[in-house]
Amino acid sequence: MVPRVDTDDLIDAQEVAEILGLAQRNSVSLYQRRYQEMPRPVVERGSGRTKLWLRSEIEGWTASRPAPRGRARARRPRRSS
């Protein structure tokens, strides 16, 4: 059986960076190397191509981590359907 994904829950590296409070989307790959428990992309078409994560997985992982010292965690409101 093939897993089903709600396409409205798919986000790119820019949106992951915004949820994590990162200034740039290329910092997401640094986070992936630094934090092995960080959710991995559910769509990865190869080097240099778009990667997509599940918003719910990124938000859940972010919520389970302590906020960085000296600043509140950035949160982007969920898109309405």
Sign of CA dihedral 77, 51, 13, 59: positive
The pTM score is 0.75
pLDDT of residue 40: 95
Which of 45, 48, 57, 47 lies closest to 15 in space, CA to CA?
57
pLDDT at 66: 77
Taking the chain (81 residues) in runs of 10, the rounded mean pLDDT of each run is 83 95 92 94 84 95 77 54 51
Q: For the chain, which domains are there?
A: 7-63 (1.10.10)
What pLDDT was estimated at residue 77?
54
The confidence score (pLDDT) of residue 74 equals 54
| Sheet containing 10-11: order of strands | 10-11, 51-54, 43-44
Give 40's contacts (C-beta < 8 A, 6+ positions apart).
32, 53
Pairing of strands 10-11, 51-54: antiparallel
